[in-house]
């Protein structure tokens, strides 16, 4: 079955996680949510305690519902740190609150003034996509209540409705523009940072990850998320007689051979696997959730594929092979030991005739 391989950019995005930028982006949303929730709770408490004797029952009930809803959302966030669930609860509260405020008119028909803040909260907390969906939902039933059939809602004056809606659209426009360009800025910074990290952690010739990537990103990731990787197998590969290739055909052909092998290796492994140029003509393949037997099968498949796929340059066919050493990793602590074992198996393959898989 053919595997749909990730693009080069998708692979690097998967491995070079930009925690700092994503944390800043997440902190912006979290701070916006907490600020909105705390402000709303304080305002609701003040309004209810100061006016519960004079407010209509439906208005008091509306504010009480919103107070409870926002309190639950805030408590849930501090309890679980799950921003998705808490913002979902908040969006439901906002939708119901805006509907009931528009329907009841609030105190002395002042409800429309309180609605002006909803687009700012929607875009700051939910982002450009979900913020737009929530805002369009709010606009839809505000329009229905202001200009639709009489279903018992408060009657607003024509001038009051038109002025409110014009002002509301202006607030939506500026909230959208602010979030749109903030989102674009984040994407640009993210792209630049990714490119810089990619250059520092990849081999300039083959485009594969280098040893720095293994030490700085891959091994720490495996250490912190062992359940996603172990048991894991390593394949150490080395191009046979690479010095002869360089001496016979020149270093340009040697470079082409490195690139040829790198591309072939990438095409033969899963999206979850990682192949790195470990040094010179040596490559290291990480196979998460793969047993020793599975790794032997993969290495043999790669060996056969390389044997059947010679390098062709200017109509010149250049055949060469690789030797492979395989080892299994069941605990990240003795990783160096497994790496040494794979290296020893590789040299056994070299010393026993080359173009072999030893595990």
pLDDT in tens, 145-170: 888 888 877 888 888 889 999 999 99
Taking the C-alpha atoms of residue 303 and residue 326, their distance in angstroms, rounded to an integer, is 13
Task: Judge contact between 102 and 161, C-beta under 8 A.
Answer: no
Q: pLDDT-derived band of residue 287, with 50, 70 and 90 as boundaries?
A: very high
Q: pLDDT-derived band of residue 22, with 50, 70 and 90 as boundaries?
A: low
CA-CA distances (angstroms) from residue 92 to 65, 89, 97, 99, 266?
11, 5, 8, 11, 46
If one compares 35 and 106, the residue with the highest pLDDT of the two is 35
Same domain, 225 and 184: no
Q: What is the pLDDT of residue 64?
A: 93
Kindly report, residue by residue over 88-130, the tens digit of the pLDDT: 898 899 888 888 888 888 877 888 888 888 898 888 888 888 9
- 250 phi/psi in degrees, rounded to 5: 100, 160
If one compares 355 and 299, the residue with the highest pLDDT of the two is 299
For residue 284, the SS3 value is strand
Residue 272: which CATH number?
A: 3.30.70.270
**How much of the chain is helix, strand and coil, in % rounded to 5?**
70, 10, 20
pLDDT at 21 over 60: no
Which of the residue ranges 61-70, 97-106, 189-198, 290-299 would you say has the lowest mean pLDDT? Answer: 189-198
Kindly report, residue by residue over 250-277, the tens digit of the pLDDT: 889 999 999 999 999 988 888 889 999 9
- Answer whether the bond into residue 231 is a cis peptide, omega within 30°: yes
- Mean predicted confidence (pLDDT) in 53-78: 90
Same domain, 263 and 221: yes
Residue 8 resides in a domain? no
Return the H-helix or E-strand segment holding 356.
none
Percent with pLDDT over 70 in the chain: 92
Query: Number of folded domains in the chain?
Result: 2
- Answer whether the bond into residue 232 is a cis peptide, omega within 30°: no
Domain boundary among 136, 160, 194: 194
Domain boundary among 142, 164, 194: 194
User: Which residues constitute the domain of residue 169?
Assistant: 17-194
Contacts of 22-28 with C-beta under 8 Å, sequence gap 24+, read 25/186, 26/83, 28/124
DSSP state of 323: E
Taking the C-alpha atoms of residue 229 and residue 273, their distance in angstroms, rounded to an integer, is 10
Return the H-helix or E-strand segment holding 95.
helix 83-104
Residue 261 resides in a domain? yes
Which of the residue ranges 20-29, 37-46, 272-281 would you say has the lowest mean pLDDT? Answer: 20-29
Taking the C-alpha atoms of residue 308 and residue 13, their distance in angstroms, rounded to an integer, is 32
The whole model's pTM is what?
Answer: 0.60
Sign of the four-CA dihedral 344, 349, 355, 359: negative
Q: What is the pLDDT of residue 59?
A: 87
Task: Judge contact between 73 and 119, C-beta under 8 A.
Answer: no
Q: What is the pLDDT of residue 1?
A: 38
Residue 7 resides in a domain? no
Same domain, 236 and 312: yes
Same domain, 128 and 220: no
If one compares 294 and 197, the residue with the highest pLDDT of the two is 294
Q: pLDDT-derived band of residue 3, with 50, 70 and 90 as boundaries?
A: very low
Taking the C-alpha atoms of residue 120 and residue 123, their distance in angstroms, rounded to an integer, is 6
Same domain, 37 and 113: yes
Taking the C-alpha atoms of residue 102 and residue 146, their distance in angstroms, rounded to an integer, is 8
Same domain, 40 and 187: yes
Kindly report, residue by residue over 301-349, the tens digit of the pLDDT: 999 999 898 888 888 888 889 999 999 888 766 677 888 888 888 888 8
Taking the C-alpha atoms of residue 285 and residue 339, their distance in angstroms, rounded to an integer, is 11
- Mean predicted confidence (pLDDT) in 275-297: 91
Q: Which residues pair with 275 in a beta bridge?
A: 285
If one compares 6 and 74, the residue with the highest pLDDT of the two is 74
Task: Judge contact between 45 and 67, C-beta under 8 A.
Answer: yes
For the chain, how far is it from start to end, CA to CA, in angstroms?
26
Same domain, 102 and 25: yes
Q: pLDDT-derived band of residue 2, with 50, 70 and 90 as boundaries?
A: very low
Same domain, 109 and 158: yes
Q: What is the pLDDT of residue 127?
A: 86
Residue 336 resides in a domain? yes
pLDDT at 31 over 70: yes
Question: Length of the chain, please?
Answer: 359
Same domain, 215 and 170: no
Kindly report, residue by residue over 181-229, the tens digit of the pLDDT: 988 887 787 777 777 777 878 888 988 888 888 888 888 888 888 888 8
Kindly report, residue by residue over 127-146, the tens digit of the pLDDT: 888 999 999 999 998 999 88
Same domain, 68 and 135: yes
Q: What is the pLDDT of residue 359?
A: 75
């Amino acid at each position: 079955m053919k595997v749909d391989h990730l693009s080069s950019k998708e692979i690097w995005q998967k491995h070079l996680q930009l925690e700092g930028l994503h944390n800043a982006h997440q902190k912006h949303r979290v701070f916006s949510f907490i600020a909105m929730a705390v402000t709303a709770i304080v305002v609701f408490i003040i309004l209810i305690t100061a006016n519960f004797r004079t407010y209509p029952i439906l208005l008091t009930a509306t504010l009480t519902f919103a107070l409870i809803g926002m309190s639950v959302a805030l408590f849930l966030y501090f309890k679980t740190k799950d921003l998705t669930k808490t913002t979902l609860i908040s969006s439901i509260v906002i939708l119901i609150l805006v509907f009931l405020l528009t329907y009841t008119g609030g105190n002395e028909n002042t409800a429309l003034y309180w609605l002006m803040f909803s687009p700012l909260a929607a875009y700051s907390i939910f982002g450009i996509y979900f913020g737009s969906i929530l805002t369009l939902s709010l606009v839809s039933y505000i329009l229905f209540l202001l200009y639709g059939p009489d279903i018992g809602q408060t009657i607003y004056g024509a001038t009051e409705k038109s002025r409110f809606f014009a002002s509301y659209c202006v607030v939506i426009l500026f909230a959208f523009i602010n979030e749109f360009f903030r989102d674009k800025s984040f994407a640009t910074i993210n792209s630049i940072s990714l490119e810089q990290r990619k250059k520092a952690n990849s081999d300039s010739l083959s485009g594969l990850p280098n040893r720095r990537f293994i030490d700085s990103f891959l091994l720490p990731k495996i250490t912190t998320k062992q359940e996603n990787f172990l048991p894991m197998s390593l394949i150490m590969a080395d191009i046979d007689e690479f010095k002869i290739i360089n001496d016979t055909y020149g270093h340009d052909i040697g470079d082409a051979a490195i690139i040829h092998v790198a591309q072939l290796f990438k095409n033969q492994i899963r999206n979850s696997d990682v192949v790195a140029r470990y040094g010179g003509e040596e490559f290291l393949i990480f196979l998460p959730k793969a047993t020793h037997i599975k790794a032997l099968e993969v290495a043999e498949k790669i060996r056969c594929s390389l044997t059947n796929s010679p390098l062709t340059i200017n109509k010149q066919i250049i055949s060469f092979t690789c030797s492979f050493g395989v080892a299994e990793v069941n605990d990240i602590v003795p990783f160096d030991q497994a790496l040494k074992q794979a290296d020893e198996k590789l040299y056994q393959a070299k010393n026993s005739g080359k173009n072999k898989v030893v595990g």
